[in-house]
A and B are shown apart, each in its own frame.
Chain A
Amino acid sequence: MRQPLIELTDLTFAWPGHPPLLDIPAFHLEAGESLFLKGPSGSGKTTLLGLLGGVQQPDRGSIRLLGQTLGTLKQGARDRFRVDHTGYIFQQFNLLPFLSVRENVELPCRFSKARAAKACERYGSVDQAAASLLAHLGLKDPALLMRRADSLSIGQQQRVAAARALIGQPELVIADEPTSALDADSREAFIRLLFSECHTAGSSLLFVSHDQSLAPLFDRHLSLSELNRAARPANDLEA
């Protein structure tokens, strides 16, 4: 059997001076899988994503990404490992407003040689990769690529963010409430586009949202509160 892409074992985490926020005995994500992780705000999902990104360190337990235990890497190496293998899409205002659309998409390739190399391998150049990813995501107009990122509509911006997460085919795409700023119709369309692009790039998708209605679209869906033994019903504080 293939090795899972993400594997958490006996993970616990608490912010200093706070009660335990996360206590996850086991969690895994297979390569190429799309997983919907339901978590209301305050359930610790942002913290979980921070742990997966190697920005925070668990108090106990291990996180293995692509067979690599994050805890054994130094801070700088964890940062490099993250950008080499993970693309992120956030809720909104994902883009640097003062850069052009194209420059925003190319950002990960500026900080990761591995992603730049993969983008070049597949599309010939980083420029080419950005243009074709944007075109697949419905942003075909070449003039649009040169515009400032903040001149786009929210829906367009989220597609640019998706293109940025996908450039250089990272093994994992983490999407944190990427559709919450979109209306219901564009929400589903966006997710379908995201699926097809993740499929093309061969990336797994970890999709975190509180919106249960999106869950059936995914290969598998989980609830963070079932997963997390530290979850308490009354806990409504933002972590």
Chain B
Amino acid sequence: MYLLRLALASLANRRFTAFLTAFAIALSVCLLLAVERVRTEARASFASTISGTDLIVGARSGSVNLLLYSVFRIGNATNNIRWDSFEHYASDPRVKWAIPISLGDSHRGYRVMGTSQAYFEHYQYGHKQSLQLAQGRAFANDPFEVVLGAEVAQALHYTLGDKLVLAHGVAAISLVKHDDKPFTVVGILQRTGTPVDRTLHISLGGMEAIHVDWHNGVPARGAGRVSADQARNMDLTPSAITAVMLGLNNKIATFTLQREINDYRNEPLQAILPGVALQELWSLMSTAEQALFVVSLFVVLTGLIGMLTAILTSLNERRREMAILRSVGARPWHIAGLLVLEAFALAVAGILAGLSLLYLGIALAQGYVQANYGLYLPLAWPSSHEWTLLAIILGAALLMGSVPAWRAYRQSLADGLSIHL
């Protein structure tokens, strides 16, 4: 205990170097933990994007592509699914529920998704959580009603009753707008932390209505135009949709049904298991994620080497200190212990400061990260994994401290009580 007191007093005597050393460790620890936390949360939020859905069906492409556009609203479908294919599988006795999805339009950079009531009833994310309305209601019979994801409503300042115009296509700035058929906001969903927050939901009928007078990708002109009221009286059953999400009565049927859909004779279709596709997609990103982790490990190592350098360079100018200690009875192992304790104190100070920096950073950036990246960083006590990392850092610091300790041990044996000026 007295040795620790001596080590701290000696460090305090060199407080500027000690502060810089501890600060370097703190920054590296903060970086490592921040990367860890973002990694963990990204993986968790990624895995919880969709749950409860057994199969996603779309036109044949790749499983990752299908997952990307149907769940993450990234990229585009290569082809559509005919409505009768949807009806065929929706009415299959093994299928408990089917959610049709129709994509392709946007509103100020946010994707618009045409779907049915089933979406609000059956779509689940996270740990089998259903979508909840924060305000208003789901869209009903009128085709020109829209339900907004939480982020859309917040970012674009929409409230219930607001009118908005959808744009054709998914480019951020679209030149062709469906401005003849404005939509009314009837509901706003609660925040989910998934791509749902960034989506505008309309009925399939609404999706059909805004395109009813379109031919070959361009709107009709003059007499060919159909007004909103005219559209309301038309049959708005779509002829094609983009994808289908299926929930089954019995999970055991999943693989059989998947094979059947993949072999469907009337139309080339593809069915994927969301869990498997998520894994595939994540493994694409995990290389970058692991690289980030390795880089932050090296930053920690750099911080510790900085400490090693600082202690080693101090050894020579502290020969007198060591000799005085020897003359008052400190044995060589006391001298060695003093230096290990010094490394320990620096590492502990660095780790504590690093944790404080991390929590300060999270507290400041939490809202921004959530709003911009849909990533919720909890202000939580370190996880057991993080404690393990911190313990490893501390262990590495002690190991590094043993290098100057060994040198000082040898030095103090050789110098003895004589103090070389």
Are A111 and B330 interface neighbours, CB within 8 A?
A: yes
Residues A107 and B10 in contact in the complex (CB < 8 Å), given A49-B417, A53-B417, A93-B419: no
B328 CB contact (under 8 Å) in A46, A97, A164: A164
Q: Which chain A residue lies CB-closest to B331? A: A79
Q: Is the interface of B mostly helix, strand, loop or mixed?
A: helix
Interface assignment of B233: CB less than 8 Å from any CB of chain A: no
**Stretch with Cβ within 8 A of B (4 or more), from A58-66, A80-88, A213-221:** A80-88
Interface assignment of A17: CB less than 8 Å from any CB of chain B: no
Interface assignment of B12: CB less than 8 Å from any CB of chain A: yes
Which of the four size classes fits the interface of chain B? 20 to 34
Are A55 and B13 interface neighbours, CB within 8 A?
A: no
Q: Which residues of A contact B329 (CB under 8 A)?
A: 79-80, 82-84, 107-108, 110-112, 115
Q: Which residues of A contact B330 (CB under 8 A)?
A: 111
Interface assignment of A203: CB less than 8 Å from any CB of chain B: no
Interface assignment of B325: CB less than 8 Å from any CB of chain A: yes
Q: Which residues of B contact A107 (CB under 8 A)?
A: 325, 328-329
Taking CB atoms and an 8 Å cut-off, the chain A residues in 84-142 that contact chain B are 84, 88, 90-91, 93-99, 107-108, 110-112, 115
Interface assignment of B2: CB less than 8 Å from any CB of chain A: yes
Interface assignment of B182: CB less than 8 Å from any CB of chain A: no
Interface assignment of A56: CB less than 8 Å from any CB of chain B: yes
Interface assignment of A67: CB less than 8 Å from any CB of chain B: no
Are A53 and B416 interface neighbours, CB within 8 A?
A: yes
Q: Which residues of B contact A46 (CB under 8 A)?
A: 418
Which of the four size classes fits the interface of chain A? 20 to 34
Q: Which residues of A contact B321 (CB under 8 A)?
A: 96
Interface assignment of B326: CB less than 8 Å from any CB of chain A: yes
Which of A56, A83, A110 is the most central at the interface, judged by chain B CB atoms within 10 Å of its CB?
A: A110
Residues A83 and B328 in contact in the complex (CB < 8 Å), given A56-B416, A93-B419, A110-B2: yes
Which of B9, B324, B417 is the most central at the interface, judged by chain A CB atoms within 10 Å of its CB?
A: B417
Are B418 and A94 interface neighbours, CB within 8 A?
A: no
B419 CB contact (under 8 Å) in A55, A90, A110: A90
Q: Which residues of A contact B325 (CB under 8 A)?
A: 96, 107
Interface assignment of A50: CB less than 8 Å from any CB of chain B: yes
Q: Which residues of A contact B324 (CB under 8 A)?
A: 90, 94-96
A101 → chain B closest CB, angstroms: 13
B342 → chain A closest CB, angstroms: 13
Inter-chain CA distance A137–B331, complex, in Å, is 29
Q: Which residues of B contact A82 (CB under 8 A)?
A: 329
Inter-chain CA distance A164–B10, complex, in Å, is 19
Inter-chain CA distance A95–B6, complex, in Å, is 13
Interface assignment of A19: CB less than 8 Å from any CB of chain B: no
Q: Which residues of A contact B10 (CB under 8 A)?
A: 96, 98
A-contact 0/1 string along B320-339, CB 8 Å cutoff: 11001111111110100000
Q: Which residues of A contact B334 (CB under 8 A)?
A: 111
A50 CB contact (under 8 Å) in B2, B13, B328, B416: B416
Inter-chain CA distance A215–B2, complex, in Å, is 40
Residues A55 and B9 in contact in the complex (CB < 8 Å), given A108-B328, A111-B330: no
Q: Which residues of B contact A233 (CB under 8 A)?
A: none
Q: Which residues of A contact B326 (CB under 8 A)?
A: 55, 79
Are B416 and A98 interface neighbours, CB within 8 A?
A: no
Q: Which residues of B contact A56 (CB under 8 A)?
A: 416
Inter-chain CA distance A55–B330, complex, in Å, is 12
Q: Which residues of A contact B12 (CB under 8 A)?
A: 98
Q: Which residues of B contact A49 (CB under 8 A)?
A: 417-418
Inter-chain CA distance A74–B10, complex, in Å, is 30
Binding site for B on A (CB under 8 A): 46, 49-50, 53, 55-56, 75-76, 79-80, 82-84, 88, 90-91, 93-99, 107-108, 110-112, 115, 164
A sample of 25 cross-chain residue pairs with beta-carbon separation below 8 angstroms, ordered by A number, consists of A49-B417, A50-B418, A55-B326, A56-B416, A76-B331, A79-B326, A79-B332, A82-B329, A83-B328, A90-B324, A91-B419, A93-B320, A93-B419, A96-B9, A96-B325, A97-B13, A98-B9, A98-B10, A107-B328, A108-B328, A108-B329, A111-B334, A112-B329, A115-B329, A164-B328
Nearest first, the 8 closest Cβ-Cβ pairs linking A and B are: A83-B329, A111-B329, A55-B416, A98-B13, A107-B328, A88-B327, A79-B331, A98-B9
Q: Beyond A79-B329, A95-B324: 19 further Cβ-contacts under 8 Å?
A: A49-B417, A50-B417, A50-B418, A53-B327, A53-B416, A53-B417, A55-B326, A55-B417, A80-B329, A84-B329, A88-B328, A91-B419, A96-B10, A98-B12, A110-B2, A111-B330, A111-B334, A112-B329, A115-B329
